[in-house]
Amino acid sequence: MGAVRSMTGYGSARFEFAGLTWLVELRSVNHRYLKLNFKIPASLTSVQERLRKAVSGAVKRGAVDVIIRSAESNGTLYSINEAQIDRYERQLRERFPTLSVGPEVLLALPGATARNETVDEEEFAGALEAPLAEALEAFERYRLEEGEALAADIAERCGALARLVDGIAEKAPEVPREYARKLRERMAELLAEAGGAPEESAIAREAAFFADRADITEEIVRFRHHLQRLAHLLERGGTVGKEADFIVQEMNREANTMGAKCADVRISDDVISLKAELEKIREQVQNLE
């Protein structure tokens, strides 16, 4: 089976720069297209385009959070503006005497911290290169492992679909015969009091009309074809999510038509089971890149 990827993934790496330990993280969830969301310090936005090129080169679909943050260490990239924080505290006490404000709130206010101008953003970008590649590798590995599990689950459910549609195909020819039998019985009951008997030619015409209206041969053929396409798609691997989702929609349409055309309790039960499995496959397919 070819390699398919989940749109859910995670990868991270740590590195040292300017006396600080930094963490670069990649987190992704499902999305119809590729959507990149950057969560990095405002003073480092110049590296955003490099991040965009690196991530978009590896990811085709999904909403990806690209996070860069620093951890406590023995140096500092940012300094606290104590005078500005004192002014904030004084103004808050004057306006709201009973309000208790923690340091995390004060530090988030504009001007509460200042970036050390000695940090070179080009140097930071260079230091980020290797850990970003490491994070992307872990991210890719996560998505491949998740994709492999999804593909295996979908393949197993496709087997269940094949068995169900085989059962429907076996039962379908019996439906017109059963209809003709019941029609003959009803007509015989209605005509018994008058001493008459049902005309076989009339029964045959009605049964033939019903058989044509309830014929689901084409739907079964198309359903099996879609099932084969889905199996081949997973076998091929790569970016398969959108096409697989379309195929499942087409299979669901054929299942609906089978249920609508063939008014048989046993086939209706099989169609319900068919649609239940398709819904589970659809949920899994929508996780694939």
Is the same domain home to 151 and 278?
yes
Distance of CA 243 to the CA centre of its chain: 13
Q: State the burial class of residue 199 (Cβ atoms within 10 Å of its Cβ: 0-12, 13-18, 19+).
A: exposed
Question: For residue range 107-118, what is the model confidence (pLDDT) as tens digits?
Answer: 777 877 765 544
Minimum mean pLDDT among 57-71, 150-164, 274-288: which range?
A: 57-71
Q: What rounded mean pLDDT belongs to the chain?
A: 85
pTM of the model: 0.72
For the cut 80, the answer to whether the pLDDT of residue 139 exceeds it is yes
**Beta carbons within 10 angstroms of residue 254's beta carbon:** 24
Is the same domain home to 104 and 214?
no
Q: Which domain holds residue 107?
A: 78-113
For the cut 60, the answer to whether the pLDDT of residue 119 exceeds it is no
Is the same domain home to 108 and 156?
no
Is the same domain home to 161 and 250?
yes
In a domain, 65, yes or no: no
Residue written as tokens 């099989």?
270
In a domain, 118, yes or no: no
Provide the pLDDT for residue 280: 96
16-31 average pLDDT score: 91
Question: For residue range 216-247, what is the model confidence (pLDDT) as tens digits?
Answer: 889 999 999 999 999 999 999 999 999 999 99
SS3 182: helix
Residues whose CB is less than 8 angstroms from the CB of residue 120 and which lie 6 or more positions away in sequence, other chains included: none
Give me the number of domains the chain comprises: 2
Provide the pLDDT for residue 24: 95
What is the C-alpha separation between 250 and 222, in angstroms, rounded?
Answer: 9
Percent of the chain whose pLDDT exceeds 90:
53
189-214 average pLDDT score: 67
